[in-house]
Every structure is written in C-alpha cells, then in structure tokens.
Amino acid sequence: MGRHGYELCREADIKSGTLYPLLMRLEGQGYLAADWQAAETPGRPPRHVYRLTAEGRRLAAENLVPDTARAALPEGRPA
C-alpha cells in the first residue's frame, strides 16, 4: 500500500515544493520506492505511488516524532 504525492502533502502538512525534493532525495538514498501505477478509473493516466523500502521503514522507526512534538501540532493534522 503506497501513497500519492498530494496525499502525502496533506498528511505531512507540507507544500508540494517541499515534498518533491524530499521524495527525490529519499528515493536516491534508497529509503523510498517510486513506481508508476495504473489508474483505477479507466482512461485516467498512471500516477506515481511512493512506498518506504525496508531501509526506509527502519529509518522512520528510528525518527518517530515524540508525543510532545505531536501535541504541538495543529489539532486535526495527522503527523
């Protein structure tokens, strides 16, 4: 199960101009896999889907946002 770019922007509350360079670097360092996925709706073009690699999951686990930091985030915003 991967995520799309716009979805990530909303979930991480970051702008597209910040997201894509971040994705590019994570992909370049092997923490992220980016694949073209055919659209579920016929006639629509394929989209990029992003997944953490095993290495990326380990990295994410090592850098979990502490609860105090979560509390400081705006209400209703998934971290």
Partner 1 sequence: MRGVAVFVLRLAKRLLTPRNRSWGEAAQREAEEIEHPGEALRFAFGCLMWAIREAAADRISHLFQQGDDPMSFADAIRGPRGVALLCATGAVALGLVYMVMGNAPARYLMMNIGAFAFGLIALAILTLADGRGHLPGRLLAVGLGAVLLATSLLGVRVDGITRWLALGPLTIQPSMMILPLMVVLFARFRDGLSLIGIAVAALALALQPDRGMAGALTAGIAVLAFTRPNRSVLAALACAAAGFAATLVQPDPSPALPFVDQILYSSFSLHPLAGVAVVLGSALLTVPVLAGRQAKAPELAVFGAVWAALIAAAALGNYPTPLVGYGGSAVIGYLISLMVFPRRSALAAASTEAQPQAGASSDGDRALYVGAARAQV
Residues that bind partner 1 (CB under 8 A): 2-6, 8-9, 11-12, 14-26, 28-29, 31-32, 34, 36, 44-48, 50-52, 56, 59-65, 79
Q: How far is the CB of 77 from partner 1 (least distance, A)?
A: 10
Tell me how far, at minimum, the Cβ of 40 lies from partner 1, in Å: 11
| Enclosing H/E stretch for 27 | helix 16-28
Beta strands in 38-79 (DSSP E): 47-52
d(CA 2, CA 6): 12
CA 42/CA 65 separation, integer angstroms: 39
CB of 47 to partner 1, least distance (A): 5
Write out the two tokens for 15: 């702008």
